[in-house]
Amino acid sequence: MENRQAKSIRGVIFDWAGTVVDYGCFAPIYGLVEAFQAFGVDVPLSTARQDMGLAKWDHIRKLLAMPSVEESFQKAHGRPSTEKDIDAIHDHLETGLLLRLRDFAAPIDGVVDMVDQLASGGIHIGSTTGYTRPMMDVILPIAMEAGYRPQVVVTPSEVPAGRPAPWMCYENAKRLGIYPMDQLVKVGDTLVDIDEGRNAGMWTVGVIEGSNLLGLSQTEVVAMDPSDLKLKKKHVMEQMTERGADIVIDRIVDLPDAIVAIEQSLATGGRPCEGHRELAQA
Protein backbone atom coordinates (compact mmCIF):
# COMPACT_ATOMS: atom_id res chain seq x y z
CA MET A 1 0.00 0.00 0.00
CA GLU A 2 1.40 3.39 -1.01
CA ASN A 3 2.22 5.68 1.90
CA ARG A 4 0.88 9.22 1.79
CA GLN A 5 1.71 12.07 4.14
CA ALA A 6 0.35 11.75 7.67
CA LYS A 7 -1.98 14.73 7.22
CA SER A 8 -3.55 13.55 3.97
CA ILE A 9 -6.56 11.65 2.71
CA ARG A 10 -5.73 8.02 2.03
CA GLY A 11 -9.12 6.68 0.97
CA VAL A 12 -12.46 7.69 -0.52
CA ILE A 13 -15.64 5.68 0.07
CA PHE A 14 -18.23 6.31 -2.64
CA ASP A 15 -21.94 5.67 -2.70
CA TRP A 16 -23.23 4.04 -5.88
CA ALA A 17 -26.61 5.12 -7.38
CA GLY A 18 -26.83 8.87 -7.84
CA THR A 19 -23.13 9.31 -7.09
CA VAL A 20 -20.98 7.23 -9.48
CA VAL A 21 -23.70 5.46 -11.52
CA ASP A 22 -27.37 6.11 -12.34
CA TYR A 23 -27.43 9.90 -12.79
CA GLY A 24 -30.52 11.12 -10.94
CA CYS A 25 -30.84 7.91 -8.93
CA PHE A 26 -33.77 6.57 -10.94
CA ALA A 27 -33.44 2.77 -10.77
CA PRO A 28 -34.26 2.43 -7.04
CA ILE A 29 -36.98 5.08 -7.25
CA TYR A 30 -38.82 3.40 -10.12
CA GLY A 31 -38.28 0.04 -8.44
CA LEU A 32 -39.82 1.17 -5.15
CA VAL A 33 -42.81 2.79 -6.83
CA GLU A 34 -43.50 -0.30 -8.92
CA ALA A 35 -43.07 -2.65 -5.97
CA PHE A 36 -45.64 -0.76 -3.93
CA GLN A 37 -47.99 -0.54 -6.91
CA ALA A 38 -47.89 -4.33 -7.14
CA PHE A 39 -49.43 -4.36 -3.66
CA GLY A 40 -52.08 -1.76 -4.49
CA VAL A 41 -50.26 1.22 -3.00
CA ASP A 42 -49.43 4.35 -4.99
CA VAL A 43 -46.29 6.08 -3.69
CA PRO A 44 -45.38 9.42 -5.32
CA LEU A 45 -41.85 9.71 -6.70
CA SER A 46 -41.10 12.55 -4.28
CA THR A 47 -42.14 10.37 -1.35
CA ALA A 48 -40.07 7.42 -2.59
CA ARG A 49 -37.03 9.69 -2.75
CA GLN A 50 -37.25 10.38 0.98
CA ASP A 51 -34.75 8.31 2.99
CA MET A 52 -33.03 7.11 -0.18
CA GLY A 53 -29.70 5.52 0.70
CA LEU A 54 -31.10 3.26 3.40
CA ALA A 55 -30.95 -0.50 3.00
CA LYS A 56 -33.96 -1.44 0.90
CA TRP A 57 -35.76 -3.26 3.74
CA ASP A 58 -35.31 -0.21 5.96
CA HIS A 59 -36.51 2.10 3.19
CA ILE A 60 -39.70 0.08 2.68
CA ARG A 61 -40.26 0.05 6.44
CA LYS A 62 -39.82 3.84 6.58
CA LEU A 63 -42.30 4.36 3.77
CA LEU A 64 -44.92 2.18 5.45
CA ALA A 65 -44.39 4.19 8.65
CA MET A 66 -45.69 7.26 6.81
CA PRO A 67 -49.41 7.70 7.62
CA SER A 68 -50.36 8.35 3.99
CA VAL A 69 -48.62 5.21 2.71
CA GLU A 70 -49.89 2.99 5.54
CA GLU A 71 -53.41 4.33 5.03
CA SER A 72 -53.19 3.45 1.35
CA PHE A 73 -51.96 -0.05 2.23
CA GLN A 74 -54.80 -0.58 4.70
CA LYS A 75 -57.34 0.63 2.15
CA ALA A 76 -56.01 -1.90 -0.37
CA HIS A 77 -55.72 -4.84 2.06
CA GLY A 78 -58.22 -4.14 4.83
CA ARG A 79 -55.57 -4.52 7.56
CA PRO A 80 -52.34 -2.94 8.82
CA SER A 81 -49.06 -3.84 7.15
CA THR A 82 -46.79 -6.39 8.80
CA GLU A 83 -43.16 -7.50 8.61
CA LYS A 84 -44.26 -10.20 6.18
CA ASP A 85 -45.60 -7.47 3.91
CA ILE A 86 -42.28 -5.64 4.10
CA ASP A 87 -40.52 -8.86 3.09
CA ALA A 88 -42.96 -9.41 0.23
CA ILE A 89 -42.56 -5.87 -1.10
CA HIS A 90 -38.80 -6.22 -0.82
CA ASP A 91 -38.84 -9.50 -2.74
CA HIS A 92 -40.82 -7.83 -5.52
CA LEU A 93 -38.44 -4.85 -5.49
CA GLU A 94 -35.38 -7.06 -5.71
CA THR A 95 -36.83 -9.10 -8.57
CA GLY A 96 -37.63 -5.95 -10.53
CA LEU A 97 -34.30 -4.28 -9.82
CA LEU A 98 -32.29 -7.34 -10.84
CA LEU A 99 -33.89 -6.97 -14.28
CA ARG A 100 -33.52 -3.18 -14.45
CA LEU A 101 -30.16 -2.43 -12.87
CA ARG A 102 -28.02 -3.32 -15.86
CA ASP A 103 -29.54 -0.30 -17.64
CA PHE A 104 -28.37 1.99 -14.82
CA ALA A 105 -24.91 0.54 -14.12
CA ALA A 106 -22.70 2.59 -16.42
CA PRO A 107 -20.50 5.15 -14.63
CA ILE A 108 -21.58 8.78 -14.75
CA ASP A 109 -19.59 10.89 -17.22
CA GLY A 110 -16.18 11.78 -15.83
CA VAL A 111 -16.23 9.30 -12.95
CA VAL A 112 -13.69 6.86 -14.37
CA ASP A 113 -11.07 9.51 -15.18
CA MET A 114 -11.63 11.25 -11.84
CA VAL A 115 -11.23 8.03 -9.85
CA ASP A 116 -8.14 7.11 -11.87
CA GLN A 117 -6.72 10.52 -10.97
CA LEU A 118 -7.31 9.86 -7.27
CA ALA A 119 -5.85 6.36 -7.47
CA SER A 120 -2.75 7.60 -9.29
CA GLY A 121 -2.19 9.92 -6.33
CA GLY A 122 -2.22 7.02 -3.89
CA ILE A 123 -5.84 7.31 -2.74
CA HIS A 124 -7.66 4.01 -2.24
CA ILE A 125 -11.24 3.51 -3.40
CA GLY A 126 -14.02 1.85 -1.41
CA SER A 127 -17.81 1.94 -1.58
CA THR A 128 -21.03 1.44 0.36
CA THR A 129 -24.58 1.06 -0.89
CA GLY A 130 -28.19 0.51 0.02
CA TYR A 131 -28.36 -2.26 -2.59
CA THR A 132 -28.17 -5.93 -1.68
CA ARG A 133 -25.27 -8.14 -2.78
CA PRO A 134 -27.32 -9.78 -5.60
CA MET A 135 -28.12 -6.29 -6.91
CA MET A 136 -24.45 -5.33 -6.79
CA ASP A 137 -23.60 -8.54 -8.60
CA VAL A 138 -25.52 -7.07 -11.55
CA ILE A 139 -24.04 -3.57 -11.35
CA LEU A 140 -20.41 -4.30 -10.52
CA PRO A 141 -19.31 -6.22 -13.63
CA ILE A 142 -20.80 -3.55 -15.92
CA ALA A 143 -19.20 -0.69 -13.98
CA MET A 144 -15.86 -2.49 -13.89
CA GLU A 145 -15.97 -3.22 -17.61
CA ALA A 146 -16.46 0.52 -18.15
CA GLY A 147 -13.41 1.28 -16.00
CA TYR A 148 -14.81 1.97 -12.52
CA ARG A 149 -13.14 -0.58 -10.25
CA PRO A 150 -13.46 0.13 -6.51
CA GLN A 151 -11.21 -1.99 -4.32
CA VAL A 152 -13.98 -2.65 -1.79
CA VAL A 153 -17.76 -3.00 -2.12
CA VAL A 154 -19.74 -3.46 1.11
CA THR A 155 -23.50 -4.08 1.26
CA PRO A 156 -25.81 -3.82 4.29
CA SER A 157 -26.15 -7.59 4.71
CA GLU A 158 -22.40 -7.89 5.42
CA VAL A 159 -22.51 -5.70 8.55
CA PRO A 160 -24.74 -5.37 11.64
CA ALA A 161 -26.82 -2.57 10.06
CA GLY A 162 -26.85 -0.38 6.97
CA ARG A 163 -26.93 3.40 6.82
CA PRO A 164 -26.99 5.65 8.76
CA ALA A 165 -24.93 3.29 10.97
CA PRO A 166 -21.17 3.52 10.32
CA TRP A 167 -20.49 -0.20 9.97
CA MET A 168 -20.13 -0.33 6.18
CA CYS A 169 -17.59 2.52 6.36
CA TYR A 170 -15.70 0.74 9.14
CA GLU A 171 -15.63 -2.44 7.07
CA ASN A 172 -14.22 -0.46 4.15
CA ALA A 173 -11.55 1.04 6.40
CA LYS A 174 -10.64 -2.42 7.67
CA ARG A 175 -10.36 -3.96 4.21
CA LEU A 176 -8.42 -0.98 2.86
CA GLY A 177 -6.15 -0.95 5.93
CA ILE A 178 -6.73 2.75 6.63
CA TYR A 179 -7.03 4.50 9.99
CA PRO A 180 -7.73 6.87 11.70
CA MET A 181 -11.09 7.58 10.12
CA ASP A 182 -10.27 11.22 9.41
CA GLN A 183 -8.00 9.96 6.62
CA LEU A 184 -11.11 8.82 4.77
CA VAL A 185 -13.78 10.75 2.87
CA LYS A 186 -17.37 9.58 2.38
CA VAL A 187 -18.95 10.84 -0.85
CA GLY A 188 -22.65 10.54 -1.61
CA ASP A 189 -25.80 12.12 -2.99
CA THR A 190 -28.23 11.59 -0.10
CA LEU A 191 -28.63 12.89 3.42
CA VAL A 192 -28.25 9.34 4.70
CA ASP A 193 -24.81 9.20 3.03
CA ILE A 194 -23.81 12.25 5.03
CA ASP A 195 -25.18 10.70 8.22
CA GLU A 196 -23.20 7.52 7.52
CA GLY A 197 -19.93 9.37 7.04
CA ARG A 198 -20.41 11.61 10.06
CA ASN A 199 -21.30 8.65 12.27
CA ALA A 200 -18.07 6.98 11.14
CA GLY A 201 -15.99 10.05 12.00
CA MET A 202 -15.11 10.69 8.35
CA TRP A 203 -15.03 13.77 6.19
CA THR A 204 -18.26 14.00 4.21
CA VAL A 205 -18.77 15.40 0.71
CA GLY A 206 -22.22 15.82 -0.82
CA VAL A 207 -22.76 15.82 -4.59
CA ILE A 208 -25.52 17.93 -6.16
CA GLU A 209 -25.77 17.08 -9.88
CA GLY A 210 -27.03 13.56 -10.50
CA SER A 211 -28.18 13.28 -6.91
CA ASN A 212 -31.34 11.77 -5.52
CA LEU A 213 -32.02 15.10 -3.81
CA LEU A 214 -31.91 17.04 -7.08
CA GLY A 215 -33.85 14.23 -8.77
CA LEU A 216 -33.26 15.36 -12.34
CA SER A 217 -31.99 13.48 -15.38
CA GLN A 218 -29.08 14.84 -17.42
CA THR A 219 -31.55 15.85 -20.12
CA GLU A 220 -33.65 17.77 -17.61
CA VAL A 221 -30.57 19.52 -16.20
CA VAL A 222 -29.48 20.66 -19.66
CA ALA A 223 -32.98 21.80 -20.65
CA MET A 224 -33.86 23.63 -17.42
CA ASP A 225 -33.82 27.40 -17.21
CA PRO A 226 -30.45 28.29 -15.59
CA SER A 227 -32.05 30.42 -12.87
CA ASP A 228 -34.49 27.64 -11.95
CA LEU A 229 -31.68 25.09 -11.90
CA LYS A 230 -29.59 27.36 -9.69
CA LEU A 231 -32.44 27.62 -7.17
CA LYS A 232 -32.92 23.84 -7.13
CA LYS A 233 -29.20 23.27 -6.62
CA LYS A 234 -29.13 25.87 -3.86
CA HIS A 235 -31.90 23.99 -2.05
CA VAL A 236 -29.95 20.73 -2.29
CA MET A 237 -26.79 22.43 -1.01
CA GLU A 238 -28.70 23.88 1.94
CA GLN A 239 -30.11 20.46 2.87
CA MET A 240 -26.69 18.81 2.74
CA THR A 241 -25.06 21.65 4.64
CA GLU A 242 -27.72 21.59 7.35
CA ARG A 243 -27.18 17.83 7.66
CA GLY A 244 -23.51 18.45 8.37
CA ALA A 245 -21.65 17.86 5.10
CA ASP A 246 -18.11 19.17 5.32
CA ILE A 247 -18.13 20.17 1.65
CA VAL A 248 -20.82 20.17 -1.03
CA ILE A 249 -19.66 19.95 -4.65
CA ASP A 250 -21.61 20.71 -7.79
CA ARG A 251 -20.51 17.63 -9.76
CA ILE A 252 -18.76 14.38 -8.86
CA VAL A 253 -15.77 15.39 -11.02
CA ASP A 254 -15.16 18.28 -8.60
CA LEU A 255 -14.10 15.82 -5.89
CA PRO A 256 -10.31 16.20 -6.33
CA ASP A 257 -10.63 19.92 -5.49
CA ALA A 258 -12.65 19.02 -2.41
CA ILE A 259 -9.94 16.61 -1.28
CA VAL A 260 -7.33 19.36 -1.67
CA ALA A 261 -9.45 21.61 0.55
CA ILE A 262 -9.84 18.84 3.14
CA GLU A 263 -6.11 18.16 3.17
CA GLN A 264 -5.45 21.86 3.71
CA SER A 265 -7.80 21.73 6.69
CA LEU A 266 -6.11 18.58 8.02
CA ALA A 267 -2.71 20.26 7.79
CA THR A 268 -3.88 23.04 10.11
CA GLY A 269 -5.52 20.76 12.66
CA GLY A 270 -8.98 20.62 11.12
CA ARG A 271 -11.32 17.76 11.93
CA PRO A 272 -14.42 16.31 10.26
CA CYS A 273 -17.84 17.67 11.22
CA GLU A 274 -16.48 21.04 12.40
CA GLY A 275 -18.58 23.02 9.97
CA HIS A 276 -19.29 23.47 6.29
CA ARG A 277 -16.48 24.63 4.00
CA GLU A 278 -17.42 26.55 0.87
CA LEU A 279 -15.96 25.00 -2.27
CA ALA A 280 -18.44 24.97 -5.12
CA GLN A 281 -21.40 27.21 -5.61
CA ALA A 282 -24.40 25.54 -7.22
Beta-carbon contacts of 162 under 8 Å, excluding residues fewer than 6 positions away, are: 54, 55, 58, 130, 155, 156, 168
Of residues 15, 58, 182, 193, which has the active-site annotation? 15
Judged by DSSP in three states, 82 sits in coil
Report which of 253, 258, 230, 159 is spatially closest to residue 200, judged by C-alpha positions: 159
Is 257 annotated as contributing to ligand binding? no
Strand order in the sheet with 124-127: 124-127, 11-14, 184-188, 203-207, 247-249
Give the integer Cα–Cα distance in Å for 18 and 49.
Answer: 11
Q: Where are the alpha helices (DSSP H) in 38-150?
A: 45-49, 56-64, 67-77, 83-100, 111-120, 133-145
Instruction: Give every CB contact of residue 269 below 8 A, 6+ residues apart in sequence.
Output: none
Strands 124-127 and 184-188: unpaired
CA 71 remoteness from chain centre: 29
15 assigned ligand-binding residue: yes
- Asked if residue 38 belongs to a known ligand binding site, the reply is no
Neighbours of 128 (CB within 10 A): 31
56 labelled catalytic: yes
The residue annotated as part of the active site, out of 22, 51, 56, 58, is 56
Active site residue 75: no
Known catalytic residues are 15, 56
Annotated binding site: 15, 17, 189
Annotated binding site for Mg(2+): 15, 17, 189
